[in-house]
Structure 1
Amino acid sequence: MSTAPTQPAFVLVRPQMGENIGGAARAMWNFGLDRMRVVAPRDGWPSEKAVAMASGAGRLLDEAGLYDSTAEALRDVDYVFATTARSRDLTKPVVTPEHAMTQARALIASGQRVAVMFGPERAGLENDDIALANAIVSVPVNPAFPSLNLAQCVLLTAYEWERQVTETPPEVLEFAGTRFANGQEVEKLGDHFEERLEEAGFFFPPHKAAHMKLNLRNMLSRLPLTLVDVQTFHGMLRQLARWKDKSGGSS
């Protein structure tokens, strides 16, 4: 007994352009998917244009299953999603790509075989195709222009599949040869600011000086200062002091 696959099959139904098949292969491989099935491609198979567009994902095309009909391509599948942007005269649950891929992972984890159908470029999936699906995947796009390129739709779905398991933080700060300044470094910067500002007569009137210094420290503590930032501020303050000495204190 063969082992159930660990990812869904992406089924391209009657694709019209080899370039879009290659683009779909590339999009799939971007997110670690390699189970492609192609149903009755208009321009025949194999396709030189698909290979050229697939770039480094040509292996997916070499291993892709070729089928004469949608029903044949889905014969061994337990649960099928159909991607379409248009309303149809068929009663089926309609889900977002995110929910579809969450559901797909749960189904596959339980040992079921899952497929996602993508229609031809000109008109999308026909009702006869959609009738074979368990659910419809609808991308929330501009209702005045809902048509997505085949490879774009594959990319969106593949991204949602991979996003379910990839713990990527929403924001990462890239340090260019530095690190965040620690508490002592920020404290010494505050001391330096106070020293220079005292010399400049900034803390005036005297009865407000303590509160002004507290605000300065509070401001510095709120800033996500790096060590380079702190060193730059120290350099600026030292340069201002040198300029003051050279100018004799005049402004």
Structure 2
Amino acid sequence: MPGAGTDSTKAWAEGGPVVILVEPQLGENIGSAVRAMGNFGLSRLRLVNPREGWPNPKAVTFASGADRILEGAELFPDLRSAIADLKFVAATTARERGMAKPVLGADAMAAEVALRLAGGEDVGLLFGRERTGLYTEEVSLADAILTLPVNPAFASLNLGMAVAIVGYEWFKLASQGALPFAPPDRSPIADKADLLALFDHIERELDEAAFFRSPEKRPSTTRNIRNIFHRVGLTKQDLATLHGMITALVEGREGRMARRAARFERKGAKSPEAED
């Protein structure tokens, strides 16, 4: 189910730590977590005893095209078997558990994970049930705790949201913060000769339109107009567009005047200009 932002021509990011969902309750939440994994380059999923069984068609729907992650998901009957082959495990929780373990935020955990993966260790990130999170016994099986700076009065996160935040910090580090696209190259900045030609064009047509009604105020008004354009940092393409706009306005005005004169002549009357 491709959507906005998907591109089948680009390589799919693979690797990263293993995401372990412990007894997830709803297929919709599994799918949302998998979608977040796909967004941020996490491709390995383990499911511990999902409540609604597996496979789950709702998970496919909510994964929104990240089917390959679902297809590669591994199913385990309990947490111990899901982490048995891993060297380092971090448990996500919003509650203090009174355990003497390192407590890291998502950015610091991403750095720790990257270091361990580079050293050949396999790493897992534990995410608990939607309603109750991880049990204290399950947290005790982890090497470290991963938590987030959330509102202490309302710290519970949706499962997919939690995976997205952690995944974002992981992929930001892994990709060195590279954005998916950059702004297009701008036209070269206009030189002063081009800018002065624009000023001449504008002021000439403003004269024709009787814009400068007060000779005493003309110098200050002219300076104000020029300063507006100085502040913008116009490119050569910008100047070409502005010249074209001014010309179109002038030609449109002259065309309207000519059509009005023709209408008066057809009626046998003097044109407004002639009456003036």
Instruction: State the distance in 1 between where 2:168 and 2:98 align.
Output: 29
Deviation at 1:25, TM superposition (A): 1.5
Deviation at 1:166, TM superposition (A): 4.7
One-letter amino acid matched to 1:47: N
TM-score (structure 2 length as normaliser): 0.71
One-letter amino acid matched to 1:149: N
Note closer, same or farther for the CA distance 1:100–1:227 as it changes in structure 2 (3 Å cut): same
Instruction: State the distance in 1 between where 2:178 and 2:237 align.
Output: 27
Partner of 2:131: 122
Contact 1:118 1:125 in 2 (8 A): yes
Note closer, same or farther for the CA distance 1:89–1:219 as it changes in structure 2 (3 Å cut): same
Note closer, same or farther for the CA distance 1:189–1:135 as it changes in structure 2 (3 Å cut): farther
Match of 2:102 among 60, 83, 93: 93
Note closer, same or farther for the CA distance 1:57–1:243 as it changes in structure 2 (3 Å cut): closer
Note closer, same or farther for the CA distance 1:202–1:126 as it changes in structure 2 (3 Å cut): farther
Secondary structure in 1 matching 2:47: strand
Q: Does 1:84 align with 2:88?
A: no
**Number of residue pairs the alignment of both structures matches:** 240
Contact 1:83 1:119 in 2 (8 A): yes
Partner of 1:142: 151
Determine what percentage of the aligned residue pairs are the same residue. Answer: 39
Q: Does 1:192 align with 2:201?
A: yes
* Residues 72-105 of structure 1: CA deviation (Å, up to 9, x unaligned): 2111222222111122222322222122112211
Note closer, same or farther for the CA distance 1:236–1:84 as it changes in structure 2 (3 Å cut): same
Deviation larger for 54-63 or 151-160: 54-63
Deviation at 1:28, TM superposition (A): 0.8
Q: Does 1:168 align with 2:178?
A: yes
Contact 1:180 1:224 in 2 (8 A): no
Flag the structure with larger Rg: 2
Instruction: State the distance in 2 between where 1:234 and 1:156 align.
Output: 48
TM-score (structure 1 length as normaliser): 0.78
Contact 1:196 1:241 in 2 (8 A): no
One-letter amino acid matched to 1:23: S
Q: Does 1:62 align with 2:94?
A: no
